[in-house]
Amino acid sequence: MQAVLRKRDDRVAGWLFLLPVLVGFLIFYAYPTVRGVWYSFTDYSLLNDPAYVGADNYRELVGDGQFWNALKVTAYYVVVNIGSQTLLALGLAALMHRLTRSVVLRAALLVPWLVPNVTIGLLWAWLLDPDLGFVNHLLGVVGVDTTLSFNSPTWAMPLVALVNSWAYTGYTALLLYAGMLQIPQGLYESASIDGAGEVRMFRSITLPLLRPIIALVLVVSLIGSFQIFDTVAVVYGGKAPIPEARVIYYYIFQQAFTYFHMGYAAAVAMVLVLVLGVLTAVQMRMLRASRSDLG
Amino acid sequence: MLKRASWLALVAALVVTVFPFYWMIRTALTPAADLFRDSTALWPSNPTLINFTRVLGLVSSEEARAAGGSGAEIDFLLYTTNSLVYSGLIAVVQTFCCAMAGYAFARLRFPGRDLVFGVIVAALMVPPIFTLLPNFVLVKQLDLVNTFPGLVLPSLLMTPFAVFFLRQFFLSIPRDVEEAATLEGVGRWGMFWRIVLPMSRGPLITIGLTTIVWSWKDYLWPLLVGKAEETRVLTVGLGVFLQQSPNRAPDWTGLMAGSVLSVVPVLLLLVFLGRRLVQSLNFSGMK
């Protein structure tokens, strides 16, 4: 029977099945990728034709303090965001795994993930309003003497990071929880007979067996985290953020569409491609090295 | 003891997740004039629906201004419709086209197949902002800025992820059924349309739902290409509303009413397809 399938000539059918995707890919992925690389070597303002300038954009970038600041701010954001979000999600997933299988609870935890980042930014801009925000009111009630605000250079980036952690923790927890469900229940039962407590079981059973899923979740959320834009664009009222919150995506956006430095923006985007490429490669390597003992 | 603390932590997580949404609704039901007086009240002293009717463009601009609006034209009914069409259209067409390609990559044999698949998977590594700049230039050159085609075309036909995901799934279907159908003389298209697609309802819904959610959340692309009133989606509408709102005292009650509107459709999705959506978040099944 295999032979019947093998003999069929799918040459025509194959390309016909691929046609719509190929058209979409060539026009909106492949072509712009080539064009993006080309723009990064040009001086282009959207109004004139791109003029080749060699590596000038890249040379300018090396001495551009705002660019380095954007990288630094983004890295800070990613560390706070991924760190808090992954730890909280891991805890939440472990709690659910040991306590309940409720679908309603899981659905409720998923709500913030379903909502546009623009809405989430608006909601937290309101909750953190210096005068009328409910969170600042609560802080006052508890006796904390700080007013949290996106306009505070110290608080801006941690706040944006925590807001996005709030939005994505439930989703991340559900991914980890699904992984935990794959761990044989018997392991917990025998550990419990041997007198191991919950904390001990989490450390010696859940964590090691979940390693590959944790790694996969980390790769995906890290790449997503670098692309922070919407929240920053919204919590500053649609105006440019303070420098302490000018993340790399926003910097590219600003260069391209506020100053019309298309070529320069493309060069900055190229750097982002490289950074993400290296990070993914490193993580993939770690992912391979950390196969679960379950195989 | 530990068990009680664990439940407490879980309930706390639930409250932290849900309370901000409660606050969004509470604020949307507060008259703008009471915003200050009610700023810490758990329920508005004079609950009202005026914020919803005014952002939906259902009252005259004088009435809207009297209720705290800036008087600028704002029509969330239109933006919501645009958002629904935008995400619905992309989800349906994209899922279908990617299923066709995924099937070809998984089952059909032709020279060049694996090379093309490799190139598409490689595109997963390119962050969206990189292709976004030239795509904007392209849409501008085609004179499609502020038109619906310009808005949807770049993601209408495919994303590398959907192609990859569906191909992995099609690879995992047993070949027996298809082989039997081949012997009965069913062609490639008949096989795909009558046998493979109906068998794959689960993954198709998963990828379709994911696409709906992501396009519903889209902001940067629609902001660049569809800012004009007629093509404005909800996220862009909220952004514009915010920009028009006075700096010192933003129109929070109106903004929260608009925000509620951006949450309702996804909540409905969750109510009707919650189990499927929750179960679809399973990385471990996706090797």
Domain B76-221: which CATH number of 1.20.1640.10, 3.30.450.20, 3.40.50.880, 1.10.3720.10: 1.10.3720.10
Q: What is the pLDDT of residue A1?
A: 45
- Which CATH number do you get for residue A221? 1.10.3720.10
What lies within 8 Å, CB to CB, of B167 at 6+ separation is: B101, B102, B103, B105, B106, B117
- Residue B274's identity, in one-letter code, is G
Q: What is the pLDDT of residue A81?
A: 97
Q: b/e per residue, B135-165, with b = 16+ CB within 10 A?
A: bbbbbeeeeebbbbebbbbbbbbbbbbbbbb
Please provide the average confidence, as pLDDT, over all residues in chain A: 90
- Answer yes or no: is A3 within a domain: no
CA-CA-CA-CA torsion for B69, B72, B76, B77, nearest 10 degrees? 110
What are the sequence ranges of the domains in chain B? Answer: 16-70+245-285, 76-221
What is the rounded distance in angstroms from the CA atom of residue B266 to the CA atom of residue B237?
Answer: 17
Q: What percent of chain B has pLDDT above 70?
A: 96
- Answer yes or no: is A201 within a domain: yes
Task: Report chain B residues whose CB lies below 8 A from the CB of A5.
Answer: 175, 178-179, 182
What lies within 8 Å, CB to CB, of B10 at 6+ separation is: A92, A95, A96, A99, A100, A105
Return residues 154-213 of B near A (CB < 8 Å): 154-158, 160, 163, 175, 178-179, 182-183, 188-189, 192, 213
Mean pLDDT of all residues in A214-228: 89
Decide if B284 and A213 are in contact by the 8 Å CB cutoff. Answer: yes
Closest of B172, B196, B165, B2 to residue B95, by C-alpha: B165
Residue A237 reports pLDDT greater than 80? yes
Task: Report chain A residues whose CB lies below 8 A from the CB of B3.
Answer: 99
Parent domain of A267: 73-289
What is the rounded distance in angstroms from the CA atom of residue A75 to the CA atom of residue A268?
Answer: 15
Residue-wise pLDDT for A39-93, tens only, equals 999 999 988 889 999 999 999 999 999 999 999 999 999 999 999 999 999 999 9
Per-residue pLDDT band for A280 (boundaries 50, 70, 90) equals confident
What is the rounded distance in angstroms from the CA atom of residue B101 to the CA atom of residue A38?
Answer: 29
CB atoms closer than 10 angstroms to residue B45: 10
Q: What is the pLDDT of residue A18?
A: 96
How far A187 CA lies from chain B's nearest CA (Å)? Answer: 19
Minimal-distance CA residue of chain A relative to B256: A123
How far B33 CA lies from chain A's nearest CA (Å)? Answer: 13
What is the rounded distance in angstroms from the CA atom of residue B188 to the CA atom of residue B186?
Answer: 7
Residue-wise pLDDT for A29-42, tens only, equals 999 999 999 999 99
Residue-wise pLDDT for A90-128, tens only, equals 999 999 998 988 888 988 999 999 999 999 999 999 999
Decide if A103 and B160 are in contact by the 8 Å CB cutoff. Answer: no
Q: What is the pLDDT of residue B274?
A: 75
Residue-wise pLDDT for B195-213, tens only, equals 899 988 888 988 998 899 9
- Lowest mean pLDDT across B139-143, B150-154, B240-244: B240-244
Q: Domain tally for chain A? A: 1
Partner residue opposite A10 with nearest CB, options B2, B108, B256: B108
Residue-wise pLDDT for A266-278, tens only, equals 999 999 999 998 9
Mean pLDDT of all residues in B226-233: 94
Q: What is the pLDDT of residue B176?
A: 84
- Lowest mean pLDDT across A141-150, A156-165, A176-185, B215-224: A141-150
What is the rounded distance in angstroms from the CA atom of residue B115 to the CA atom of residue A17?
Answer: 16
Q: What percent of chain B has pLDDT above 90?
A: 59
Please provide the average confidence, as pLDDT, over all residues in chain B: 89
- Answer yes or no: is A285 within a domain: yes
